[in-house]
Amino acid sequence: MQAGDWDARYAERQQWSGEPNPLVAALVWDLPPGDAVDVAAGEGRHALWLARLGWRATAVDFSATGLARGRAQPGAGAVTWVTADVTGWSAPPGSQDLVLVAYLHLPDPPMTDLLRRAVGWLRPGGRFLLLGHDVDNLARGVGGPQDPAILHSPRRLAPVADLLEVDRLATVPRETPAGTALDTVLWGRRPSSPGASV
Ligand SMILES: C[S@@+](CC[C@H](N)C(=O)[O-])C[C@H]1O[C@@H](n2cnc3c(N)ncnc32)[C@H](O)[C@@H]1O
């Protein structure tokens, strides 16, 4: 989908709940706040939540309409809002304590290229969290995009995981009103050792 398609969706109505995804919240809530980028932030539910926890959050998305919804929320002044195509946008190298990518689905090579670049935005020890619809969702889950070329899997994320100290790379269930959905999670940190390269 192009930026205009997402603008149209966001113009129609609010797309996501204002609450963070429960797995994002469970993994991130007790980290010490620092600098964070919410990649493809949409309406900014995660960036707004991070800012409430004391993070300096930057929300990047190519849908100006989606970001406008986030900007209209209480606390939005604490978030930096950036309208940009994330395949061409970068944070300064080594500037972030958290990179969050939630439910961004692009074909390859742009998806993997972006994620590998995004690891480089982290400070040593900084946290990387990707969550998105898993390709197994097509056969065994509900909802999400139906094009296997843009769905995640632990195997597809291996070239990103190779750059991280990985705490979790897995397919995980997510309960929805329509049934059980399957997500891929990649949760890790940029290695602190000077020998590690990104
Ligand atoms: C399913 S929404 C997820 C929004 C948000 N991460 C969340 O979890 O609430 C996907 C988002 O990706 C954004 N997006 C898709 N391709 C993009 C690109 N190339 N550059 C920037 N944003 C993009 C869309 O505008 C949309 O807001």
Residue 28 lies in a domain: no
3-29 per-position pLDDT tens digit: 999 999 998 877 777 799 999 999 999
Ligand 1 centroid from CA 104, angstroms: 5
pLDDT, position 18:
78
pLDDT, position 198:
56
pLDDT, position 57:
98
Three-state SS string over the chain comes to CCHHHHHHHHHHCCCCCCCCCHHHHHHHCCCCCCEEEEECCCCCHHHHHHHHCCCEEEEEECCHHHHHHHHCCCCHHHEEEEECCCCCCCCCCCCEEEEEEECCCCCCCHHHHHHHHHHCCEEEEEEEEEEEEECCHHHHCCCCCCCHHHCECCCCCHHHHCCCEEEEEEEEEEEECCEEEEEEEEEEECCCCCCCCC
Residue 138 lies in a domain: yes
Residue 135 lies in a domain: yes
Residue 163 lies in a domain: yes
Q: Is 63 in the pocket of ligand 1 (CB under 6 A)?
A: yes
Q: Which residues pair with 171 in a beta bridge?
A: 184
pLDDT, position 17:
73
Residue 17 lies in a domain: no
Residue 76 has pLDDT above 80, yes or no: yes
Q: Which atom of ligand 1 is nearest to the CA of 87?
A: 19
pLDDT, position 1:
86
Q: What is the mean pLDDT of residues 125-138?
A: 97
Q: Where in the sequence is the domain holding 110, given as residue range(s)?
A: 35-189
17-64 per-position pLDDT tens digit: 779 999 999 999 999 999 999 999 999 999 999 999 999 999 999 999
Residue 114 has pLDDT above 90, yes or no: yes
CATH number at residue 108: 3.40.50.150
156-166 per-position pLDDT tens digit: 999 999 999 99
Residue 92 lies in a domain: yes
When divided into structural domains, the chain yields a total of: 1
pLDDT, position 13:
78
Residue 30 lies in a domain: no
Residue 11 lies in a domain: no
Q: Is 150 in the pocket of ligand 1 (CB under 6 A)?
A: no
